[in-house]
Amino acid sequence: MKDFPQFMKNQLNHIDSSQQNTKDIDGYYFEGKDGSQMAYWTYYADRDSKEQVHQFDEYTVCVAGQYVEIFDGIEHVLNPGDEIVVPKGTLHYGRVKAGTRTIHCFGGKRINHL
């Protein structure tokens, strides 16, 4: 597949650009009853994200392209099918190549409803 299925891209679930940590991306999310969230992003340009820290664990899987998660001074290169967990309280950021798609699962609320 070259894109996420259309049913996953409902505008009601679109992530506003003010809540993105990376420019030139498109993202959508779903929220669980427990407040956990799942977000999936498509990256349209080579970019680095802002440094960030969460008070919950973050699980990431690379669907297509290449995503690099950087924390504790180590670059973790994710190719399609690779996954990683960033423990809560860990300062981290990412680097991505254009055309990459990722899915992120958060153990808490990452996206605020606008």
Domain boundaries, the chain: 22-106
Helix, coil or strand: residue 94: strand
- Cα–Cα distance, 93 to 57 (Å, whole number): 14
Residue matched to tokens 């991306």: 25
CATH code that applies to domain 22-106: 2.60.120.10
| Closest residue by Cα to residue 58 from 100, 79, 29, 80 | 29
Question: What 8-state DSSP symbol labels residue 109?
Answer: -
C-alpha to C-alpha distance for 87 and 96, rounded to whole angstroms:
20
pLDDT reading at 107 higher than 90: yes
pLDDT digits (tens, 9 = 90+) for 30-85: 999 999 999 999 999 999 988 999 999 999 999 999 999 999 999 999 999 999 99
pTM of the model: 0.90
**How many Å apart are CA 84 and CA 59, to the nearest integer?**
6
pLDDT score, position 18: 75
